[in-house]
């Protein structure tokens, strides 16, 4: 299969990338080395704004990417309550002032920011977990939506609708490009997403398990060793569900909450700093860390270039080959 194969969609055209593959925001992981590698491989990488302690540190990270690639990349800006005081306005202005023109928003309605974004020519990909939220995002003027099925890492929402239903439902009701997220790791998934009407796939866990992901190698090995059954749904009773790696810490927190506990009862277990420690020290039991069910489909630790080339090659081969051959 030629590595020069192309899959042309509204996503590749709109965001100026070679391949319909997005590396979405990941706390503690969406740093310059990963984003640069994804961009150079022809995908769309996202720095994660809240990984950095302040706007100046984010600006320095943006400049680090700009110094190493001239290809498009973006910044994820999650607007949610945080353990620290976050000045979202300052972060937003820093991103735009640094020359970034693609932002992935998540957590809250981006509506209040849209005039500012449009005035500066910024294209917005809004992450959501339901069609109703995607429709609202379209109404306020976002460029595309990334819609997370129940399989995804992090926050899958509270509706429990898997991607096989959620993605085509979104495509049927939206006019803007839909990016499929949750459960994608290979060319089969990419071809399936396109068949469902999506214009690209958004991957977190799969990019977490690449050579350039700035985390300890032991955690990548843990993902390879895990199955699709090795995740926990944390914060379910609080209706703030988060899918995380199944370890002793996560299971303890789930048990406390299932027995009627509240957030303060598990705060010491789910502290975000403990999650960062996992990635830094390589101890998968050190804290709670996000991972998707798709880890059951991940069997190696490639470079971003190898991963993206392989995925596109597999998808093209499927579309041209096996799928066309089943037509009688």
Contacts of 59 (CB under 8 A, 6+ apart): 94, 97, 98
Q: Please give the Cα distance from 39 to 233 (Å, whole number).
A: 32
Q: pLDDT averaged over the chain? A: 95
Give the pLDDT band of residue 2 (cuts 50, 70, 90): very low
**DSSP-derived secondary structure letter, 154:** B
For the stretch 280-287, contacts whose Cβ atoms lie closer than 8 Å and that sit 24 or more positions apart, written own/partner, are: 280/215, 280/216, 281/216, 282/216, 282/217, 282/218, 282/219, 283/218, 284/218, 284/219, 284/222, 284/245, 284/247, 285/247, 285/248, 285/249, 286/249, 287/249
Helix (H) or strand (E) holding 78, with range, is: strand 73-78
Contacts of 185 (CB under 8 A, 6+ apart): 203, 205, 206, 294, 297, 298
CA of residue 59 relative to chain centroid, distance: 21
Mean pLDDT of 10-31: 97
Judge whether residue 299 has pLDDT over 80: yes
144/180 Cα distance (integer angstroms): 11
Confidence (pLDDT) at 4: 60
Compare 256 and 4 and report the one with higher pLDDT: 256
Tokens of 79: 């607007």
pLDDT at 303 exceeding the cut of 50? yes
pLDDT tens, residue by residue, 129-175: 999 999 999 999 999 999 999 999 999 999 999 999 999 999 999 99
The 8-class DSSP code of residue 211 comes to T
Predicted local confidence at residue 82, as pLDDT: 61
| Host H or E run for residue 313 | helix 304-317
User: Is 301 in a helix, a strand, or coil?
Assistant: coil
SS3 at position 6: coil
Greater confidence (289 vs 3) lies with: 289
Record the pTM.
Answer: 0.95
The residue among 297, 238, 236, 209 whose CA lies nearest residue 26 is 209
pLDDT, residue 324, reads: 83
Interval 174-189: pLDDT, tens: 999 999 999 999 999 9
Q: Give start and end residues of each alpha helix (H) in 102-204.
A: 114-119, 131-140, 163-173, 187-195
58 vs 272, higher pLDDT: 58
Assess whether pLDDT exceeds 80 at residue 3: no
The structural domains of the chain, ordered by start, are 10-215+300-325 (3.20.20.70), 227-290 (no CATH)
DSSP 295: G
Residue 316 confidence (pLDDT) above 50: yes
Task: Write the pLDDT tens digit of every residue in 110-128.
Answer: 999 999 999 999 999 999 9
Cα of 239 vs its chain's centroid, Å: 21
Q: What is the predicted pLDDT for the residue at 1? A: 37
Looking at per-residue pLDDT, the higher value among 83 and 168 belongs to 168
Q: What percent of the chain has pLDDT over 90?
A: 90
Residue 6: predicted pLDDT: 86
């Amino acid at each position: 299969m030629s590595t020069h194969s192309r899959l042309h969609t509204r996503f590749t055209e709109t965001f100026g990338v070679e391949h319909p593959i997005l590396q979405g925001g990941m706390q503690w992981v969406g740093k310059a080395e990963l984003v640069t590698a994804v961009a150079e491989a022809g995908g769309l990488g996202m720095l994660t704004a809240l990984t950095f302690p302040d706007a100046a540190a984010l600006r320095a990270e943006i400049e680090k990417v700009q110094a190493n690639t001239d290809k498009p990349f973006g910044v994820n800006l999650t607007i949610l309550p945080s353990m620290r005081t976050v000045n979202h306005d300052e972060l937003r202005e820093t991103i735009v002032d640094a020359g970034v023109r693609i932002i992935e928003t998540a957590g809250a309605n981006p509506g209040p920011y849209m005039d500012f974004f449009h005035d500066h020519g910024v294209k917005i990909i809004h992450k959501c977990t339901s069609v109703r939220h995607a429709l609202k995002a379209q109404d306020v003027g976002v460029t595309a939506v990334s819609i997370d099925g129940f399989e995804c890492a992090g926050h899958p929402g509270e509706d429990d609708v898997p991607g096989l239903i959620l993605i085509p439902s979104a495509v049927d009701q939206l006019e803007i490009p839909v990016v499929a997220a949750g459960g994608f790791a290979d060319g089969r998934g990419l071809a399936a997403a396109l068949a469902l009407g999506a214009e690209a796939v958004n991957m977190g866990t799969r990019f977490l398990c690449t050579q350039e992901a700035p985390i300890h190698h032991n955690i990548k090995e843990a993902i390879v060793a895990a199955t699709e059954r090795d995740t926990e749904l944390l914060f379910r009773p609080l209706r703030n569900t988060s899918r995380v790696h199944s370890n002793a810490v996560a299971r303890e927190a789930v048990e406390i909450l299932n027995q009627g506990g509240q957030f303060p009862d598990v705060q010491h277990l789910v502290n975000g700093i403990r999650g960062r420690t996992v990635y830094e020290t390589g101890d998968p039991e050190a804290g709670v860390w996000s991972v998707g069910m798709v880890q059951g489909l991940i069997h190696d630790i490639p470079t971003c270039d190898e991963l993206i080339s392989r995925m596109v090659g597999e998808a093209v081969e499927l579309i041209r080959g096996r799928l066309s051959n089943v037509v009688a």
